[in-house]
Chain A
Amino acid sequence: MQPIEQHINHQHACLWRFADQAWVVDSKGALFWPKQGVLIISDLHFEKGSFLAQHGNPVPTLDTRQTLIFMQQLIDIYHPDTVVCLGDSFHDRRAFERVNHTDQATLFELIKRVSRWIWVIGNHDPQFPENFPGEVVKTLLIENIMLSHEPVYEDEMLPKQYAIIGHFHPKMQITRKRQTLRGKCFVKDGRIMIMPSLGVYTGGLDITDEAFNSVLNPDKQTWSCVMCLQDKAYVVNSPHT
């Protein structure tokens, strides 16, 4: 059996339909596109720890290292041909300088392992240093799917086009048998899928927040979610329905 199938059987990932295709949603907060062999990860926020530290906040600056370990694990499982980092990969413009040698070596090693590595730029990392490994793009269109960091609005899309975006760090909670379950999540309507953040030191925004209303279809009946709980991923209804 394929390791990916095993991964799914153990509920570490689940299957989800979007844009008339099958997707593998990983509980770490990553998305794998079987047809194209593309692994999508979003909002890594490398060096957020050191960003806070330089403002006098003595947080341990170990976040980049941990996020890289997650990426490594994902690449080991999915063996993607292409990795797309969906924006806000680096927490701020100077984050590139602060990545230490060990972590930088790990990152470059990962990039080498994959045939194609694409950095979609985000609001936190609008500019990459020259000669940085990987392609840097504003948005990316594969088949009829637009990959972008920030929301793509209806009038910017062709009919029959779909979008996968990051930026919002969605999370959700549901209640079963008087127990509240919380976790980061993927949320989609018929047209747009919003990915959670992979970065270790990133907070989340609950999908009941108004910010999501202006991005997704206001009719919440059309929403669907994958919630990540511990190391498992589950397809669930949006809590509105």
Chain B
Amino acid sequence: MLDSNLVAKGENVSLHFELQHYFQNSLRDKFISAVRNPIDTFFGEKEILKILDGISFEIKKGDRLGIIGVNGTGKTTLCRCLVGMYKPQKGKIEVNGTVRGIFDTSTGIMPELTGRENAYLLARLFYPKLRDLTSIVEEALEFSELGHFADIQFKQYSKGMQSRLALSIISSVPADLLMLDEVFDGADVFFQTKIAERMKNLIQKSGAVVFVSHSAKQVEKLCNRVMILDKGKILFDGPVDQGLKIYLNSR
């Protein structure tokens, strides 16, 4: 059990994948390569791709942690570990309370159904613990300004409308640990300001927030702590201004 002041704690977290040189995406290719080159196929050495390389960290209540780093350094992977999608092969992650992470914002579930029906489904999957979703969904629909579009099929939505719907739903209820992975893309400019306001409100009500972004400006605005990831290791963990300086100079 974690200290009540801690929201999450990672100890020596490592995660890797086996990399295949000749990526076989079908059983037919696998079969062909097994016949041609059986030894390599089954016993050949596999390259290991380390994504997270033994990192340790603590996230406390009130932390607004910005994770920055160039592409492919394990930012999203770390968040997925925290939310419980990935299981690290080594080390352990402990979390106190409800964790919610958002990695993509234009998702619908059943395109043949209406926006409203999709909104209910989305809320059901995103907030598994809430019994009654009506007030949340109706409020979110109101916020999304989709108006009568709420009752047409989701598949007829534009990309921006899909984002509006999903963003409005997922920004409804605060969590003990909230993870936002580049969530501000997608919607149009007008809605972006509006949703940013709502997100800020959500962030304030949530216990701790992990924020992944490429925009130094947004990190500066929203965060009180910065972590720089580089090749699966933590390069820096501390105050925002110092972190951003190191990050921007490292490139």
Real binding pair: no
Q: Which residues of A line the B interface, CB within 8 A?
A: none
Q: Which residues of B line the A interface, CB within 8 A?
A: none
